């Protein structure tokens, strides 16, 4: 081997090292990547500035390099000296052999799915296989499944290890994660948020739908997973902020010597819909309802006495009806 060849090989090795001093001096470019053609998008940084859409690259992960598909550019950091948060770092472009191996990966995962499904049926296990993920280097296969309760899958794991001769991991997931993996379209017509970009599931309550004046119809506020829509959390804090200081629905206010009862809040417009003593509806602007005075509630004792008098009145009516019928 000549000295010229040795120098060229060293230069090639240094160009592939992501932590070399030369790479650190290069400006970073940011890209949107996916590990599968359908699935969640991540942001990755790279010292390569000429990655095109559809280009296959190798990304640094905890278990070694994994191939990912570039889906476009990502916004950089606004500050010159600041650092943009990224999920992964691009190591290099994928070689021709790695591209061919990546193209065969979905086929291998489908074969592993079919084999595992056959074993589940043979063992009569109460579980539903959802997805199979195979590491690019073949060191591990992960089987995702759903079940109503805990499942004893020790015998299943033994058979799968004998079949694939690699590490096998079984992961039980919930219905939200199942929908995230399968994917689909939401009621808005776009790709599901959990599939496209959500990294974690926040708790969603019916209180969020009430705060946004949404219809409490389960079919309207539930997603594909039959759980409350994740997007209910997006504007919940904004609605709470806009409604802060507005009289609540059912409260009475006094304006220009007249009493009104609040029947609806319009936080986006900053308005209130009220009804007067004469039954006529009226819309109050922000200046008007802020100038209105709240009508004090009746004392608790008076309300209790009123309830008691109503109850006694009803009892008396029942007794009189019984006497007349008798």
CA distances from 80 to 46, 72, 255 (A): 17, 22, 54
Q: In which residue ranges of the chain is CATH 3.30.300.20 found?
A: 101-173
Query: Can you give the pLDDT at residue 20?
Result: 46
Query: Can you give the pLDDT at residue 15?
Result: 41
Phi-psi region of 184 (alpha: psi -120 to 50; beta: other; left: phi over 0): left
Q: Domain 246-294, CATH 2.70.70.10 — does that match?
A: no
Closest of 294, 296, 298, 254 to residue 276, by C-alpha: 254
**For the chain, what is the mean pLDDT?**
83
Pairing of strands 258-266, 252-255: antiparallel
Question: Per-residue pLDDT averaged across 5-15, rounded?
Answer: 43
pLDDT band per the 50, 70, 90 thresholds, residue 293: confident
Q: In which residue ranges of the chain is CATH 2.30.30.30 found?
A: 246-294
- Compute how many other C-beta atoms are within 10 angstroms of the C-beta atom of residue 202: 11
- Compute how many other C-beta atoms are within 10 angstroms of the C-beta atom of residue 244: 8
Pairing of strands 128-134, 66-73: unpaired
pLDDT tens-digit readout, 48-62: 888 888 899 999 988
List the strands of the sheet with 252-255, edge to edge.
281-284, 271-276, 258-266, 252-255, 293-294
Pairing of strands 252-255, 167-172: unpaired
Which tokens in the block code for residue 301? 């004792």
pLDDT tens-digit readout, 85-113: 888 999 999 999 999 999 999 999 999 99
Residue 6 has pLDDT above 50, yes or no: no
Q: What is the largest CA-CA distance in the chain?
A: 122
Residue of higher predicted confidence among 36 and 326: 36
CA distances from 288 to 188, 203, 284 (A): 36, 37, 6
**Those residues with Cβ within 8 angstroms of residue 124's Cβ, 6 or more apart along the chain or in another chain:** none
pLDDT band per the 50, 70, 90 thresholds, residue 173: very high
Question: CATH assignment of 101-173, given 1.10.1240.10, 3.30.300.20, 3.30.460.10, 3.30.450.20?
Answer: 3.30.300.20
pLDDT tens-digit readout, 143-153: 999 999 999 99
Share of the chain above pLDDT 90, in %: 34
pLDDT tens-digit readout, 185-233: 888 888 898 888 888 888 899 999 988 988 888 888 999 998 999 999 9
Q: Could you give the CA distance from residue 35 to residue 66 in angstroms, rounded to a whole number?
A: 8
């Amino acid at each position: 081997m000549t000295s010229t060849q040795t120098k060229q090989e060293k230069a090639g090795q240094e160009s592939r090292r992501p932590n070399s001093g030369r790479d650190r001096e290069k400006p970073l470019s940011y890209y949107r990547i996916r590990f599968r053609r359908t699935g969640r998008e991540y942001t990755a940084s790279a010292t390569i500035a000429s990655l095109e859409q559809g280009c296959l690259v190798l990304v640094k992960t905890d278990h070694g390099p994994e191939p990912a598909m570039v889906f476009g550019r990502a916004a950089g950091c606004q500050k010159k000296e600041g650092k943009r948060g990224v999920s992964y770092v691009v190591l290099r472009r994928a070689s021709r052999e790695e591209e061919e191996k990546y193209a065969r990966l979905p086929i291998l995962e489908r074969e592993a799915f079919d084999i595992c499904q056959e074993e589940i049926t043979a063992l009569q296990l109460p579980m539903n296989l959802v997805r199979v993920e195979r590491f690019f280097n073949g060191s591990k296969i992960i089987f995702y499944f759903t079940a109503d309760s805990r499942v004893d899958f020790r015998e299943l794991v033994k058979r799968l290890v004998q079949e694939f001769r690699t590490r096998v991991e079984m992961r039980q997931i919930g219905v939200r994660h199942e929908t995230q993996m399968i994917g689909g379209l939401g009621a808005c017509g776009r790709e599901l948020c959990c599939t496209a970009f959500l990294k974690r599931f926040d708790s969603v309550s019916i209180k969020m739908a009430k705060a946004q004046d949404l219809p409490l119809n389960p079919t309207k506020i539930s997603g594909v997973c039959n759980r409350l829509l994740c997007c209910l959390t997006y504007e919940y804090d904004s609605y709470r902020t806009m409604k802060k200081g507005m009289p609540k629905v059912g409260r009475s206010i006094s304006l220009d010597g007249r009493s009104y009862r609040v029947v609806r809040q319009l936080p986006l417009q900053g308005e209130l819909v009220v009804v007067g003593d004469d039954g006529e509806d009226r819309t109050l602007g922000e200046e008007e309802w802020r100038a209105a005075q709240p009508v004090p509630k009746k004392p608790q004792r008076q309300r209790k006495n009123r309830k008691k008098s109503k109850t006694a009145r009803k009892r008396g009516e029942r007794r009189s009806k019984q006497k007349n019928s008798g």
